[in-house]
Structure 1
């Protein structure tokens, strides 16, 4: 009887399978489906695996977007949360990272989906099925959480930016107060280091200012009961003012070196203080990071909204796993089983299902590799034959040597002595 090859486009009298498009075949590949079998299964099987692949592809795409945004948030130049222009070099690097991250999550999801079986082949999910799928479920939960957080901070970006700017200003004010206090304490320590020179000079300057004001008031007639003019009192006040100024000159002359050093170090402190004030905004803007934005996102959205977003991504991520556990066996599964059995038969592999029980009483399959056993048998037989031939050759050699001895014992002994 002549065998005819089957074409997927071949029409049956009872069923006509629609042609698959390129998008559908791509999504089959995302779900780990076998195109050869799906094109020979039912349309419902094709739709199931297309939807499954769509979820896997969408998860990878969302992971890529979330990873790229997280990368940009971490490595962008930090500044004001409100006025923060786009940094295009970081955008370019974020795109590269997002593509790599998305492909990595896509392959992990693809592995999770393809390695998840159909359980017992019924719609019910049993405890045993959940236990076997638990590692994949935990991996899916971790992936969902890594995707949800960057998406969450992007959803509430406006509210986060406002709240973050408030924190930056608060941080700036706190840092400024610390800088002022630190340098004020340093200036006091500096003055203490030079003893009472600075205090004595300050007091002397204050006395000069008071005397100068009194002399000016007297000349202008502002003093009570005294007319304007350069009278005896004015001359006395002028003499007192000149005396105080002379004392200041003598004081500066006696303590000139110390005063110069003191003023020099004070100026250095003021310059350092101004430099710290200049770094104030830069340090406050450094508060603009991924962790801080996640914290603010939780404050802005609240516990329940944040939990809802995370659960939504968990549902998307875990749907393919539970979906496969709930699938019943269909034409595609029977075709896959038939394919596996044919491949085993082709390579000489025999599996006897539930053939024996182990020490825990669990039924195990017995796998027989006929091709390997055949090769082993051939090797064993060839080895045995070689042993028999070697044994026969040794026996014949012994008989020949014994005949030489019987025919000519003396000559045999001489030949041995010559060999030695």
Structure 2
């Protein structure tokens, strides 16, 4: 039962194989088993690849099975259409397009399995790329806010500098009227005279102005800091909104690109493995000697070709004979006087009718 199934997978004619030796049936069962298990591997690879796209197990399995059946049908067609020839070079020319197709199928099958085998390494590459993308995204978003925030910070520094300068000026006035009272500067008279009172009043006036400036600038600084906080909040919000896009950067194309950044040698050997599996049935048929199945199939096709050629020749003879008979029949009829007189009479009547019709038409026109 299992052998019959694998023979069906090989695409061989079961009716012909029934009359062949057990060894011949075993050979084609082995070819069919290779075709079947290649399709199974294709279904697994397709399911995994589609799972990275749809992120749904049942959808991935369904389309993976469809993909496996497609590969099965292609492989079965490729193997079944390769026939043994008298010349090995003719066999290679016949098989070359099928080998090229087998290489393409091997690449398509091997890539998803490579991504699964090297999943941890691919995840590490994707993590590094996501980190780089996160930093680049933050820098790009910061360009929208950095100039405005720096301008606001410059305004805050200017307001603080204004207060500091005013404090230095008030402190200098304080030192002036204290030195006047102690007799160290100014009039150099100890005591609180008129000059001392004048300088102290000036200091007190500037001190009041300083207090007013502090109050005004503090309010301005608070407003500017509020704007900076708002911009910082907007920046963080945009970073949080765009981060899920970066976190979701692990689709099929991203994983294929990440696989391409890994060392090529392990992936190349996996590809060679699947290429060997995919081309094994074709190579087996090319290298194996012409067996009983090939001889009987060739005999069956040759008999059919001979029958078709014979039928075509008979149809050609039939057409030629029928044409000769028709020529002779019409030649004999052409010599009969009765047929000539009858046709002459009808032609005369037809010409009379045409003349009458032309006369009536011309008369009506006049």
TM above 0.5, yes or no, is: yes
Change (3 A) 1:383 1:114: farther
Q: Does 1:201 align with 2:180?
A: no
Mapped contact 2:83–2:294 kept (Cα < 8 A): no
Structure 1 residues 415, 138: CA separation in 2 closer, same or farther (over 3 Å shift)? closer
Cα distance in structure 2, aligned partners of 1:298 and 1:416: 90
Residue 49 of structure 1: SS of its match in structure 2?
helix
Q: 1:72 aligns with which of 46, 51, 59?
A: 51
Match in the other structure for 1:157:
119
Deviations 1:352-402 (Å, cap 9, x if unpaired)? xxxxxxxxxxxxxxxx72354256346635754664476357x53224578
- Give 1 or 2 for the bigger CA radius of gyration: 2
Q: Given the alignment, which residue of 71, 74, 77 partners 1:111?
A: 77
What is the match of residue 48 of structure 1?
27
Query: What SS does the corresponding residue of 1:131 show, helix, strand or coil?
Result: helix
Deviation at 1:277, TM superposition (A): 1.8
Is 1:327 aligned with 2:288? yes
| Structure 2 residue 57 is the aligned partner of structure 1 residue 95 | no
CA contact (8 A) 1:147 1:313 kept: yes
The unaligned stretches of length 5 or more in structure 1 are 1-20, 77-89, 212-235, 351-367, 405-412
Aligned: 1:349 with 2:309: yes
Within the candidate set 370, 373, 386, 2:313 is matched to 370
> Which moved further from structure 2: 44-53 or 168-177?
168-177
Instruction: Evaluate the alpha carbon distance shift between residue 199 and residue 67 of structure 1 in structure 2; reply closer, same or farther with a 3 A threshold.
Output: same
Pairwise CA distance, 1:93: 2.0
RMSD over aligned CA atoms reads 4.1
Q: How far is the alpha carbon of 1:148 from its aligned partner?
A: 0.9
2:99 counterpart residue number: 137
How has the CA–CA distance of structure 1 residues 299 and 416 changed in structure 2, closer, same or farther, with 3 Å as cutoff? Answer: closer
Q: CA deviation at 1:50?
A: 0.9
Q: Which stretches in structure 2 are left out of the alignment for 5+ residues?
A: 170-201, 357-366
Deviates further, 178-187 or 310-319:
178-187
Equivalent pair of 1:118/1:326 in contact (CA under 8 Å):
no
SS of alignment partner, residue 232 of structure 2:
helix
More helix by share: 2
Per mean C-alpha deviation after superposition, the further-off stretch among 129-138 and 384-393 is: 384-393
Report the Cα distance in structure 2 between the residues aligned to 1:329 and 1:100, rounded to whole angstroms: 35
Q: Post-superposition shift, 1:163?
A: 4.0
Alpha-carbon separation, structure 1, partners of 2:270 and 2:350 = 100
Q: Does 1:396 align with 2:338?
A: yes
Partner of 2:274: 313
Tell me what 2:254 maps to: 292
Residue 270 of structure 1 and its aligned partner are, at CA, apart by 2.9
Q: Is the 8 Å Cα contact of residues 84 and 294 (structure 2) preserved in structure 1?
A: no
